[in-house]
Amino acid sequence: MKNVDYEQLKKLVSEVAAEAGVMGASAPEGVPHRMAAADPTKSTGDPEANEKYQLALVAREATEVLVEALDQPIYDGAYEHAFKATMSLRKALNALIGVGASPPPHERVVAPPADQQKYAGYSSYEPFATFGGSGIEGGGDG
């Protein structure tokens, strides 16, 4: 087994990089080049939409507290309305993101709309799948 001369290897890589144009005139030797995408700019979004997002977020959190407080059978009617309000505020938060709000990650409390989710519309689970006409839901040969 041959021993590797790391100094010679380092010199060879440096020469090849310089010849290939990887190292520009202003780039110091031995410092790797960073692409602009490595440091994305922080998007602050539309200030007015961000302000309205904060209001909707506070309202959503308040309705969540209300839903928990109404979780008794005697309050079924009020519970149903509070739950619907929570769902409406979820849609409002997503709509505000759609018009330019850019909340920080810890303030994104709802799932994005279905068309923006990674696996939207794809389901590999079919509980009553049939195979060749003999399914588990009673369509078999018996």
pLDDT tens sequence across 7-46: 888 888 777 776 655 555 555 666 666 655 555 566 688 8
The count of structural domains within the chain is 1
Residue 27 to residues 10, 19, 22, 45, 102, Cα–Cα distance (Å): 17, 14, 9, 34, 35
Please check whether residue 84 lies inside any domain of the structure.
yes
Q: What is the pTM of this model?
A: 0.54
pLDDT, position 122:
55
Q: Which domain holds residue 83?
A: 47-113
Please check whether residue 83 lies inside any domain of the structure.
yes
* DSSP letter, residue 23: S
Contacts 24+ apart (CB under 8 A), 91-97: 92/56, 93/53, 93/56, 93/57, 93/60, 96/49, 96/52, 96/53, 96/56, 97/53
Please check whether residue 134 lies inside any domain of the structure.
no
pLDDT tens sequence across 123-141: 555 555 454 544 444 444 5
Please check whether residue 91 lies inside any domain of the structure.
yes
Please check whether residue 35 lies inside any domain of the structure.
no
Please check whether residue 42 lies inside any domain of the structure.
no
Return the number of other C-beta atoms located less than 10 Å from residue 31's C-beta. 8
* DSSP letter, residue 122: -
